[in-house]
């Protein structure tokens, strides 16, 4: 098998030129990410006109670097060469990105970037004013631009499938649809049984908890789990997110005085994202070998830490004293565990949803954005359809747009096709956690003792260290020994929640 040292001198020289170009492309994209972080976290409110131009310039530059004629020539030469496996993976990933980007006009890239940057303050205003009409024209423009984008890449395919591949290029939309169908078929009856149960789970969180106490708590949680503060930071944002590189992976959260568990689970979720990013190999920064394997895998890391760790009974047996120190509550670990896993079908907000009904929120968004992109749903109909689907799937109807169709930031980013990866990630999290349990042994005991090194190490070795070397399905088989499957999640959900609710 070829190695870098074995490559022919001419091929080695071509690859080095190619890699240097790819690194510049990566650096530009990462700089754009810092600008986006700043806009969502720290930028003055009136900074949008300049920021939209700055972001558009970087997006255009990134597009031009990716579609450069030299890139096409290097790819053609390298694809026929005897490359080391890691080099071949870099070529494969850039080929996929290049072929998509080369079909999209630079002016469209610029228009999308400006539109998404300008959309953010409009979305914030519409949400604050609880008025979808403020946002409607902006959303219509974004939908049209993303249709145009999908058509440029492949006018003969389902445009939503084309957009979905932006976030999960290898599992396929058919896999996502099948997984969502499995979740709906299993979880809806389970949720119905829970609602019919006579069991009421404990809730030791009563009253109001100030932001300072909650921030101290979530910072302690990040310490407890092993967050690297030398390569990260915690801030607040209207919609929590994580972003960065293996040298600088930042997390955000938000606080509700009546819901300290919401801030805690949100922070642990973003910690999972950051841990993946920080686990990527330093030496490969700048190429796909130092980048994450797309959003389904990324979401698996956040959901694994949020749910399989942060919502587990062993975690609460170790972490309960920390909660009591910061919030002044007094309860048993079992009671905290029950509070963290209470099913609330009447919860309107996705990021505050419990582990089961969460997926109905995803199904709703998936169906709406797919219909928007297909042209089967007019933007003006979104609030009504959203509320109807909430009532159908969860038995609750939003009274405001802020609690309904304006709650998520994703469409303002132009991220149509993103939502299914949340459920794919949850499914994969259960599969990965089961494999980690098999390999580590007494994982529950370690979580109970607040010892996370073995789990961190297993995830780094099995997932993070590979970057984007493997396609998604191959990475899953490498890590777990099996193809992608929803079985582990469905078995986990049935066992955990039927035990909790005695149903």
In 10 A of CB 310, how many CB atoms?
24
Question: Two tokens at 332?
Answer: 């048993």
Alpha helices (H) along 226-345: 260-279, 294-303, 313-327, 333-340
* The residue to which tokens 């530009």 are assigned: 28
Which candidate, 349, 467, 363, places its Cα nearest to that of 403?
A: 349
Q: Strands across the sheet with 242-245, in order?
A: 234-236, 248-253, 242-245
Interatomic CA distance for residues 266 and 406, integer angstroms: 19
* Helix (H), strand (E) at residue 203: none
* Location of structure tokens 């505050």: 352
Q: How far is CA 76 from CA 65, 71, 81, 288, 489, in A?
A: 16, 9, 9, 18, 42
Cα(150)–Cα(453) distance, integer angstroms: 43
Give the span between the Cα atoms of 120 and 354, in whole angstroms: 27
Virtual CA dihedral for 192, 198, 201, 204, nearest 10 degrees?
Answer: 130
- Using alpha carbons, select from 243, 242, 244, 266 the residue that is nearest to residue 254: 266
| Of the candidates 223, 228, 263, the residue with the CA atom closest to the CA atom of residue 249 | 228
Selection from 185, 244, 252, 175 nearest residue 215 by Cα:
252
Q: Report the residue count for the chain.
A: 503
Distance, CA of 397 to CA of 364 (rounded, Å): 13
Q: How far apart are CA 313 and CA 392, in angstroms?
A: 32
d(CA 458, CA 435): 10
| Rounded Cα–Cα distance for residues 375 and 144 (Å) | 10
CA distances from 190 to 4, 125, 343 (A): 53, 38, 11
Asked if 205 and 339 touch (Cβ cutoff 8 Å), the reply is yes
CB contact at 8 A, 274 and 461: no
Active site includes 270? Answer: yes
Query: Tokens standing for 344?
Result: 């609330």
CA distance 408 to 393: 18
User: Is there a contact between 53 and 23 (Cβ–Cβ < 8 Å)?
Assistant: no
Of the residues 270, 299, 335, 355, only one is catalytic, namely: 270
Catalytic residue positions? 270
């Amino acid at each position: 098998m070829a190695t870098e040292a074995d490559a022919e001198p001419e091929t080695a020289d071509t690859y080095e030129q190619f890699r240097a170009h790819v690194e510049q492309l990566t650096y530009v994209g990462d700089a754009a990410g810092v600008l986006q972080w700043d806009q969502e976290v720290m930028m003055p409110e009136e900074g949008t006109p300049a920021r939209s131009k700055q972001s558009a310039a970087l997006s255009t530059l990134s597009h031009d670097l990716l579609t450069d004629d030299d890139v096409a020539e290097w790819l053609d030469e390298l694809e026929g060469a005897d490359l080391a496996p890691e080099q071949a993976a870099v070529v494969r990933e850039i080929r996929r990105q290049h072929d998509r980007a080369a079909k999209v006009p630079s002016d469209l890239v610029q228009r999308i970037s400006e539109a998404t940057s300008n959309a953010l303050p409009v979305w914030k205003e519409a949400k604050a004013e609880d008025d979808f009409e403020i946002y409607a024209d902006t959303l219509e423009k974004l939908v049209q631009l993303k249709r145009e984008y999908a058509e440029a890449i492949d006018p003969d395919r389902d445009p939503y499938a084309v957009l979905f591949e932006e976030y999960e290029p290898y599992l396929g939309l058919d896999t996502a649809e099948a997984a969502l169908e499995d979740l709906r078929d299993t979880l809806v009856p389970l949720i119905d049984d829970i609602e019919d149960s006579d069991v009421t789970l404990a809730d030791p969180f009563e009253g109001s908890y100030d932001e300072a106490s909650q921030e101290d708590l979530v910072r302690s949680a990040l310490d407890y789990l092993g967050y690297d503060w030398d390569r990260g930071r915690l801030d607040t944002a209207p919609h929590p997110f994580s972003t960065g590189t293996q040298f600088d992976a930042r997390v955000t959260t938000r606080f509700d005085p009546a819901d300290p568990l919401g801030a805690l689970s949100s922070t642990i979720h973003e910690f999972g994202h950051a841990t993946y990013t920080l686990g990527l190999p330093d030496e490969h920064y700048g190429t796909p070998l130092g980048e994450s394997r797309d959003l389904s895998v990324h979401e698996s890391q956040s959901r694994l830490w949020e749910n399989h760790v942060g919502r587990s009974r062993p975690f609460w047996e170790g972490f309960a004293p920390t909660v009591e120190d910061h919030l002044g509550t007094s309860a048993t670990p079992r009671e905290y565990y029950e509070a963290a896993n209470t099913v609330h079908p009447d919860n309107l907000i996705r990021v505050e949803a419990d582990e089961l009904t969460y997926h109905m929120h995803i199904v709703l968004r998936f169906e709406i954005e797919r219909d928007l992109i297909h042209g089967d749903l007019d933007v003006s109909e979104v609030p009504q359809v959203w509320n109807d689907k909430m009532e159908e799937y969860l038995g609750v109807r939003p009274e405001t747009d802020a609690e309904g169709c304006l709650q998520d930031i994703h469409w303002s980013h132009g991220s149509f096709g993103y939502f299914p990866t949340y459920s794919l990630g949850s499914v994969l999290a259960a599969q990965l956690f089961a494999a980690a349990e098999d390999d580590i042994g007494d994982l529950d005991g370690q979580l109970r003792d607040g010892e996370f090194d073995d789990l961190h190490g297993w995830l780094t070795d099995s997932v993070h260290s590979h970057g984007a070397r493997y396609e998604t399905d191959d990475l899953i088989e490498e890590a777990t020994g099996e193809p992608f499957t929803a079985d582990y999640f469905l078995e986990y959900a049935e066992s955990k929640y039927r035990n909790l609710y005695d149903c």
